Structure 1
């Protein structure tokens, strides 16, 4: 097997230049693809550059799409992982800069659910979107709050009205986070295990929104009474019939969304 030590195209990121691309030679196809994705060639630097005002998420998607175009025709691509790191979130003067971290992909977490069998494992995945520092629920709440401030900064009646509306939405997001924490704690103590003969998750149709059932009192009671590391079964008490397949649940998390 022949290993190609130098890629046909390499993507990187520079603190002053932003996202850049370098090519191995002057093949027209390389130039054509990069220009299609809004890179512009700098003869002074011998590099392709994205416009300086390109938002971070747009730049990441652009590199991914250009890379896919190159790979589809058999070309090799290298990319600096730092391209994925978002810039710091602006803060007021004399307030420490908050360094942003790459967030969890909600799509990837949804994909993880298809491989899980234990309720406790689903709870672990759900906890990732509730993480206080870089969970998507808290990030969404902060995003909506920031959008509200942006609208209020317009100083117009419409801006103030929309700002109030967005702040209400942010409260709903916070409430959603609280409800998800409750669901995550319930999942963490449930002993349930998906049967081996259950159909693949991808083949089970999602319920219509208006048909999603609420959690019943019976289900909550069963979860509350299930044994866990923090609440072992009573000594000498009857063992439930599914004890042989019971998954050991981790201790419930005390972290909450922002």
Structure 2
């Protein structure tokens, strides 16, 4: 990358080693800033590298946060846009791999809604979410299906049960996609335009979401006491003792 003005820090992608960073000079503040985000210097390559097992999303967030910190400190930063390109999803032999494309941020699309005035414009946003190749709905369904396959691979009763639950959730996501398609078609044919004197979208009250806290709390509590391949259940001796039936006759006194 040849720039007229060399940046203080440049982020890029090494073909074999993942996300990398280079600095214009050996100022300690630059190296300290990179080490804060777990970049380590490679003397052979004269660049800084993230650990080779860093997940893609983690690497993207790391570059974004490091860039913001460097810019706030007055340094100039350049970043290769290919950092945003996700790795391909592994596939079985004979199955064509899906070409990786830069993901679309739902946050960015939600922000975009605030500047739109026509119903047809909203329909175009929904079309991006429903896109077969890079839409959020399809990606979510594929993620849940893959998580279900992971659980099924455990080959345990709990794993198979959770796999079925996840596949049911994936069906719900697919149903949600069908409902969004209907909504997009309705928006596409609506001639309505937002009135000029309409209040800003940010000032409109959003519908209250249902409170799922009790169910979520129950699920977390169940997960906390269940075993997993990486964290087998191991009840302490004191807990096992308290769980044993008492040999003495039960007392008639109420206990809390």
Q: How does 1:35-46 map to 2 (within 5 A)?
A: 35-46=35-46
Q: Which has the larger radius of gyration?
A: 2
Q: Distance in 2 between matches of 1:152 and 1:33?
A: 42
How far residue 97 of structure 1 moved from its aligned partner, in angstroms, is 2.0
Structure 2 equivalent of residue 92 of structure 1: 92
Q: Distance in 1 between matches of 2:138 and 2:120?
A: 22
How far residue 93 of structure 1 moved from its aligned partner, in angstroms, is 1.3
User: Secondary structure of 1:191's match?
Assistant: coil
Runs of 4+ aligned residues of structure 1 deviating over 3 Å after TM superposition are: none
- Equivalent residues, number: 208
CA offsets, 1:193-215, max 9 Å, x none? 111000000111212135xxxxx
How far residue 4 of structure 1 moved from its aligned partner, in angstroms, is 6.5
CA offsets, 1:44-83, max 9 Å, x none? 2111000001011110100110011100011000111111
CA offsets, 1:10-46, max 9 Å, x none? 1110121111100111111111110110101111211
Q: How does 1:58-77 map to 2 (within 5 A)?
A: 58-77=58-77
Structure 2 equivalent of residue 137 of structure 1: 137
Q: Distance in 2 between matches of 1:47 and 1:209?
A: 47
Q: Distance in 1 between matches of 2:95 and 2:131?
A: 23
User: Secondary structure of 2:20's match?
Assistant: strand
CA offsets, 1:101-160, max 9 Å, x none? 112111111011101111111111111101111100011000000000000001111111
For structure 2, the 5+ residue unaligned runs are 211-256
- Aligned-residue CA RMSD (Å): 1.2
Structure 2 equivalent of residue 163 of structure 1: 163
* 2:47 maps to 1:47: yes
Q: Distance in 1 between matches of 2:116 and 2:98?
A: 34
User: Secondary structure of 1:33's match?
Assistant: helix
Structure 2 equivalent of residue 238 of structure 1: none
Structure 2 equivalent of residue 124 of structure 1: 124
Q: Distance in 1 between matches of 2:209 and 2:7?
A: 48
User: Secondary structure of 1:12's match?
Assistant: strand
Structure 1 equivalent of residue 105 of structure 2: 105
User: Secondary structure of 2:41's match?
Assistant: strand
Q: Distance in 1 between matches of 2:173 and 2:73?
A: 44
Structure 2 equivalent of residue 183 of structure 1: 183
Higher relative contact order (CA 8 A, sep 6+): 1
User: Secondary structure of 1:121's match?
Assistant: helix
* 2:27 maps to 1:27: yes
User: Secondary structure of 2:26's match?
Assistant: coil
Q: Distance in 1 between matches of 2:205 and 2:117?
A: 18
For structure 1, the 5+ residue unaligned runs are 211-258
